[in-house]
Amino acid sequence: MTMRLNRRAWLASLGAGLASVPRAATGQPRPPSTQPAPPARPGSLALDDFQPRSMLVVPQQPVDRARFPVVDMHTHPTGRATSAGIPRGEAIEVRSTPAELLALMERRNVRTLVNLTGGVGSGLAQAVRTFQEPHADRFVVFTEPSYDRVAEPGYATWQADELARARKTGAKGLKILKVLGLFLREQVDKGPLVKIDDKRFDPMWEACGALGLPVAIHVSDPTAFFLPVDAHNERYEELSRHPDWSFHGKDYPSNAEILAARDRVLARHPKTTFIGLHVGHSSEDLAAASAALDRFPNLHVEIAARIGELGRQPRAARRFFDKYQDRILFGTDGPREALYPIYFRFLETEDEYFDYGPGPVPSQGRWKIYGLGLSDQVLRKVYSGNAERLLSLPPVRA
C-alpha cells in the first residue's frame, strides 16, 4: 500500500531537507552546487520510500556472539497448517533442519532452542524425534492444544489427558497461541469467540501444573492492533501492510478484556507456571507488567519481538530487568540469524539510537532503540539461568 504524507505534515516534519540530486545527461551526478538546494516538491515522496539516515555520531558496539550461552525460549522450527487462523490436524512442517540450526547456534553462542510449536499427536512425535531425541541438550519441544476438536463432546477431559500422553512423547511444555481468545469459536471457526478463561480449559491448566509443564502463553498483541488504523495509530504502516493483524471492531474483545481474562486463569491455577510471551503483552506499559508479576508468583515473562518497545524506554526497562531478573527469559520469535546480534547488542551494551530489526525500515514503527547494558549477573539469568530452572536443563556456564 502506497502512503503519502499530506502537505502540512510534510512541511512540518521535513521542511526543505529532502532534495533530489540533479544528474547530467551522462547519468553521472553533477558537482555539488554552491547554491542552496531547492526544496523537494511537497508530497512527491511516498512514505514507503522514505528511509532517513541518522546523522547522529555515537559509539557502535556490534555483538555477533552472546557473552554467555543463550537459551532461546521462543522459536518455531516446526509448525502446523492453519485454517481461519486455527492450527488443524497433526501433520507438521519442518522449517529448518537440525544441522542448519546447530550451525547458526554455534555462530551466535545459542546453547538451546525451545520449539514452542511442536504440534500434537504424530506431529509432536516427529518433532521430538527430529530435534530433541538426537540433540537433547540443544532442542526442547513444546506441545499445543488440539483446538480443532473443541466442539467434540468430552473435549475438556480429553485435552487434559492428552497432555499426559504428550509429556510421555517428550513434550517439555505447552504453547498457547492467540488462537484462544481471538480466533477459536464455539464451532471451531463459527459462532461466538471462546474466551481465554473458559472453564472448559481448567482441566488443561491443572494438568500442566500436575505434570510440571510450563505454559508459554500468547493471548494478545500490541495495543495498537486493537485501535482504529488511522493517522494516530503508531503501527499504521505495519497494519496497512498486514490488515489481518488488526483486531479492532467486529466481535473482538479489547486488549484490556483479554488480559483480564488471562489474569483470572493465572489466579485460578496458582500451581501452574505461566510464561507470558512478549513481555506478558505489556511491553508498552511496564507498570502493568510489573503489577502482574507482583500479583502472580506463577508468572514469568520473555522478550521476543518486543525489544522495539523495551528499547525506546531504556531507563524503565533497565529497572524492570533488574527488579525481575529471576523471572525474565530470552526469546526472539525466530530463530533468525540477523536478529541475534541486535538482541545481544540491546541487552549487553549501552549503545544509543540503533535499529531494533534488520532491513532498511523497521517493521513495527519508525523509531530507534537504546541498549540496556545489563550486568553480568542479570545477563546470565536472562540468557539461560531462568530457562534452565523452568525447563530442568543442566546448567552450562562459559
- What residue ranges do the domains of the chain occupy? 70-391
Sequence-distant (≥ 6) Cβ neighbours of residue 48 within 8 angstroms: 1, 2, 3, 237
Which residue, 12, 104, 72, is CA-closest to 383?
72
Where is pLDDT greater, at 92 or 38?
Answer: 92
Which residue, 348, 388, 352, is CA-closest to 368?
352
For residue 138, give the 3-state DSSP assignment. Answer: coil
Render pLDDT for 152-166 as a digit per residue (tens, 0 to 9). Answer: 999 999 999 999 999
Stretch 218-243: mean pLDDT? 96
For residue 4, give the 3-state DSSP assignment. Answer: strand
Stretch 247-251: mean pLDDT? 96
Q: Which residues of 62-94 are buried (b: 16+ CB within 10 A; e: fewer)?
A: ebeebbbbbbbbbbbbbbbeeeeebbeebebee
> Is residue 314 reached through a cis peptide bond, with omega within 30 degrees of 0 on the bond before it?
no
Share of the chain above pLDDT 70, in %: 89
Give CA angle at 371 (49, 62), nearest 5°.
75
Domain 70-391: top CATH class: alpha beta
- The confidence band for 44, taking pLDDT boundaries of 50, 70 and 90, is confident
Q: How far apart are CA 254 and CA 385, in angstroms?
A: 35
Q: How far apart are CA 227 and CA 242, in angstroms?
A: 14
Render pLDDT for 328-346 as a digit per residue (tens, 0 to 9). Answer: 999 999 999 999 999 999 9
**What confidence score (pLDDT) does residue 47 get?**
80
- The confidence band for 249, taking pLDDT boundaries of 50, 70 and 90, is very high
**What confidence score (pLDDT) does residue 40 get?**
57
- Give Cα 85 to chain centroid, integer Å: 17
Q: How far apart are CA 113 and CA 384, in angstroms?
A: 11
Render pLDDT for 292-320 as a digit per residue (tens, 0 to 9). Answer: 999 999 999 999 999 999 999 999 999 99
Render pLDDT for 344-382 as a digit per residue (tens, 0 to 9). Answer: 999 999 999 999 999 878 889 999 999 999 999 999 999
Which residue, 337, 220, 237, is CA-closest to 279?
220
Q: Are strands 274-276 and 215-217 parallel, antiparallel or unpaired?
A: parallel
- The confidence band for 37, taking pLDDT boundaries of 50, 70 and 90, is very low
Average pLDDT over the chain, rounded to an integer? 90
Q: How far apart are CA 329 and CA 72, in angstroms?
A: 8
pLDDT at 18 over 70: no
What's the full length of the chain, in residues? 398
Q: How far apart are CA 34 and CA 47, in angstroms?
A: 29
**What confidence score (pLDDT) does residue 165 get?**
98
Sequence-distant (≥ 6) Cβ neighbours of residue 61 within 8 angstroms: 345, 349, 351
**What confidence score (pLDDT) does residue 300 get?**
98
Q: How far apart are CA 128 and CA 227, in angstroms?
A: 40
- Name the E strands within 28-166: 70-75, 78-79, 82-83, 86-87, 93-94, 110-115, 139-141
- Give Cα 360 to chain centroid, integer Å: 20
Q: How far apart are CA 286 and CA 46, in angstroms?
A: 35
Render pLDDT for 188-200 as a digit per residue (tens, 0 to 9). Answer: 999 999 999 999 9
Give CA angle at 86 (296, 174), nearest 5°.
35
Stretch 265-286: mean pLDDT? 98
In Å, what is the CA distance from 366 to each residue of 232, 246, 300, 360? 14, 19, 29, 11
